[in-house]
Amino acid sequence: MTIALAKHLPLQCLVLCAILRVVSSSSSICEDVSASSMCGTAATDTSNMYSKVTDPTLSASHLQDLPGFTRSVYERDHALITPESQVFSPLPGWVKTLAAYLITPAMGAHFTMYLASMAGNSSSAEPPAGVERFVFVVKGEVSMTADLLLDTAILMVDEFAYIPAGAKHTLSSTFSATLVVFERRYAVGGDAAPQLFTGRTNQLPNLETPGEVFELRKLLPATPTYDFNIHVMDFQPGEYLNVKEVHYNQHGLLLLEGRGIYRLGDKWYPVQAGDVIWMAPFVPQWYAALGTTRSRYILYKDTARDPLLHPY
Number of structural domains the chain divides into:
1
The maximal CA–CA distance of the chain, rounded, in angstroms, is 58
Q: Note the pLDDT of residue 65.
A: 80
248, with CB counted inside 10 A (0-12, 13-18, 19+), is exposed
Q: Note the pLDDT of residue 44.
A: 63
Decide if 220 is inside a domain.
Answer: yes
Decide if 76 is inside a domain.
Answer: yes
Pairing of strands 228-235, 153-156: unpaired
Decide if 310 is inside a domain.
Answer: no
Q: Note the pLDDT of residue 9.
A: 53
Decide if 309 is inside a domain.
Answer: no
Label each residue of the chain as H, E or C.
Answer: CCHHHHCCCCHHHHHHHHHHHHHHCCCCHHHCHHHHHHHCCCCCCCCCCCHHHHCCCCCHHHHCCCCCCCCCEECCCEEEECHHHCCCEECCCCEEEEEEEEECHHHCCCEEEEEEEEEEEEECCCCCCCEEEEEEEEECEEEEEECCCCCCEEEECCEEEEECCCCCEEEEECCCEEEEEEEEECCCCCCCCCCCEEEEHHHCCCECCCCCCCEEEECCCCCCCCCEEEEEEEECCCCECCCCECCCCCEEEEEEECEEEEEECCEEEEEECCCEEEECCCCCEEEEEECCCCEEEEEEEECCCCCCCCCC
Other beta carbons within 10 Å of 261: 21
Angle at CA of residue 100, ends 94 and 102, nearest 5°: 125
Residue 77 — φ and ψ, nearest 5°?
Answer: -115, 5
pLDDT mean values, one per 10 residues, the chain (312 residues): 49 48 42 37 72 88 85 98 96 98 97 98 98 98 96 98 98 98 91 92 95 97 95 98 96 98 98 98 98 98 90 70
Q: Note the pLDDT of residue 21.
A: 52
Decide if 44 is inside a domain.
Answer: yes
CA–CA distance, 234 with 236 (Å, rounded to integer): 7
Q: Identify the domain containing residue 45 by its residue range.
A: 3-85+93-302
Q: Note the pLDDT of residue 46.
A: 85
Contact (CB, 8 A) for 51 and 45: no
CATH number of the domain encompassing residue 29: 2.60.120.10
Decide if 145 is inside a domain.
Answer: yes
Residue (of 2, 48, 71, 17) closest to 259 by Cα position: 17
Decide if 308 is inside a domain.
Answer: no
Q: Note the pLDDT of residue 102.
A: 98
Decide if 312 is inside a domain.
Answer: no
